[in-house]
Amino acid sequence: MAESVRVSDAVREAVRAGRPVLALESTILTHGLPRPANEELALETEERVRAVGVTPATIGVVGGTPTVGLTTDELVALSRDDTAVKASLRDIPIAVAKGLSAGTTVAATAYLAVRAGVRVFSTGGLGGVHRGAETSFDESADLGTLAGLPLIVVSAGVKSILDIGLTLERLETLNLSVVGYGTTDYPGFYVADSGFDIEYSIDSPEEAARIAAARDALGIASTLLVANPVAAELQLSPELHDRVLAEALSSAEAGGIRGHDSTPYLLDYFARSTGGESMAANLAAYRGNVDLGARIAAALSAIDG
């Protein structure tokens, strides 16, 4: 491991010993949630993972140092840092050179996780292909990055503000395997069913681990995406979701909101227009993904052992 990436002793020792480790992103702390909910979630999530015998590896950039396995003090500081930037993979060298602190996106977190030998990563919703991408070419760096990394990533699908149909087409083109956890209905982040279907489902963490082991034995270096829907009783009402989404898209178009500004604008619109119900669904989905990711990490470790 190059010294350009700092790996905590706990994560390094767990990876070396073959014990389960779960990677966690940090943009949900720096840019995804208001205070103090962000800090509370950071600390709660790590405890949820430790409680089932898995080592948490929250990933971020601290004062220009990419770090795998933030300390409690670093988690708190990053959650409170008004100057922290949002860093995708392309931004990491800039953050390093400028000495910036940053929350890492799915793409950046996934890359740093693999650098540290961590093989399972839980997040909320993936980035994907944006609406109108056939003319704007607006597509998240998450997809291309994950196509070249041998990870298991657990998410509640892609954010429903995106073009989910085009995103699924791109996942196929990029040879990213997608399985639904207990379903072939592809989830839409806030809602359990986006209206799109996928071909395969799995019924246990062990099945996800076996697929990853088969992929590795075949020398295929791409991510296995496990789509884990938010519990139906905790999802945002589909009717409310569809109405607010239509309003948000119309508002963004009227305001000329495009490119990298569109996602935060639309998510903020959801939060304001649903009276916090979208954030509750977001948190429920994230907790479910963390719990499943920890179980998959343990199953993968057991196969290796």
Other C-beta atoms lying within 10 Å of the C-beta of residue 50: 14
User: What tokens does 244 get?
Assistant: 């607010």
Q: Catalytic one among 46, 74, 139, 159?
A: 159
Residue with tokens 């379903």: 183
User: What tokens does 115 get?
Assistant: 């650098």
Closest CA to 124 of 153, 166, 95: 153
> Is 285:124 a contact under the CB 8 Å cutoff?
yes
Phi, psi angles (nearest 5°) of residue 23: -80, 145
Asked about 169 being catalytic, the answer comes back as no
Closest CA to 78 of 94, 95, 90: 95
Asked about 25 being catalytic, the answer comes back as yes
> Is 243:278 a contact under the CB 8 Å cutoff?
no
Closest CA to 147 of 167, 130, 124: 167
Q: Catalytic one among 13, 25, 206, 207?
A: 25
Residues labelled as active-site residues: 25, 159
